Amino acid sequence: MLHSSAIKGERTHCIRQIMLPHTCGTRTDTSRINSSWVAKKYEDEIRSDPSMCVTALMDAVLRDHGVEISKHMAYRAKNRALESVVGDEDAQFTRIKDYLQIVIDKDPGSRCHVTTVQPIPQKNISEVFNSYILKFRDKPIRTMIDSIRTKIMVRYATKREGVETVQWEITPTFAERLEWEKKNSRWWQDARAKKGLWQVTNMGRTYEVNLDERKCGCFKWDLTGIPCKTCCTCNHQCQRIPRGLC
Distance (Å, whole) CA 41 – CA 62: 13
In the prediction, which pLDDT does 160 show?
84
- Does residue 176 share a domain with residue 158? no
Using 50, 70 and 90 to split pLDDT, how confident is the model at 26?
Answer: low
Tell me, yes or no, whether 218 lies in a domain: yes
Q: Nearest to residue 2, comparing CAs of 23, 16, 12, 13?
A: 16
In the prediction, which pLDDT does 39 show?
92
- Does residue 226 share a domain with residue 189? yes
Enter the pTM of the model.
0.35
Distance (Å, whole) CA 135 – CA 146: 13
- Does residue 198 share a domain with residue 140? no
- Does residue 180 share a domain with residue 152? no
**CB-based burial label for 227 (10 Å; 0-12, 13-18, 19+):** buried
- Does residue 196 share a domain with residue 156? no
How large is the average pLDDT for residues 193-214? Answer: 88
- Which has more pLDDT, 30 or 175? 175
How large is the average pLDDT for residues 142-171? Answer: 83
- Does residue 233 share a domain with residue 176? yes
**pLDDT > 80? residue 176:** yes
Question: 108, 143, 164 — which closes off a domain?
Answer: 164
What are 70-129's pLDDT values in tens digits? 888 999 999 888 888 776 666 666 667 667 677 777 776 666 655 544 444 444 566 777
Tell me, yes or no, whether 106 lies in a domain: no
- Does residue 179 share a domain with residue 219? yes
Tell me, yes or no, whether 103 lies in a domain: no
Using 50, 70 and 90 to split pLDDT, how confident is the model at 183?
Answer: confident
Say what percent of the chain tops pLDDT 70.
79
**pLDDT > 70? residue 170:** yes
- Does residue 188 share a domain with residue 227? yes
118-122, 165-169, 185-189: which has the minimum mean pLDDT? Answer: 118-122
53-67, 138-152, 158-172: which has the minimum mean pLDDT? Answer: 158-172
Name 209's bridge partners: 198, 216
Domain total in the chain: 2
Tell me, yes or no, whether 13 lies in a domain: no
22-26, 65-69, 144-148: which has the minimum mean pLDDT? Answer: 22-26
In the prediction, which pLDDT does 164 show?
78
Tell me, yes or no, whether 194 lies in a domain: yes
- Does residue 230 share a domain with residue 181? yes
Using DSSP, state whether 182 is helix, strand or coil.
helix
**pLDDT > 70? residue 33:** yes
Tell me, yes or no, whether 148 lies in a domain: yes
- Does residue 185 share a domain with residue 233? yes
In the prediction, which pLDDT does 112 show?
61
In the prediction, which pLDDT does 119 show?
45
| Greatest mean pLDDT range, 39-43, 46-50, 143-147 | 39-43
- Which has more pLDDT, 5 or 22? 5
Tell me, yes or no, whether 144 lies in a domain: yes
Distance (Å, whole) CA 134 – CA 25: 49
- Does residue 206 share a domain with residue 159? no
Range of the domain at 190: 172-238
Question: 107, 141, 164 — which closes off a domain?
Answer: 164
Using 50, 70 and 90 to split pLDDT, how confident is the model at 22?
Answer: confident
- Does residue 201 share a domain with residue 143? no
Tell me, yes or no, whether 187 lies in a domain: yes
Question: 146, 164, 182 — which closes off a domain?
Answer: 164
Distance (Å, whole) CA 159 – CA 138: 27
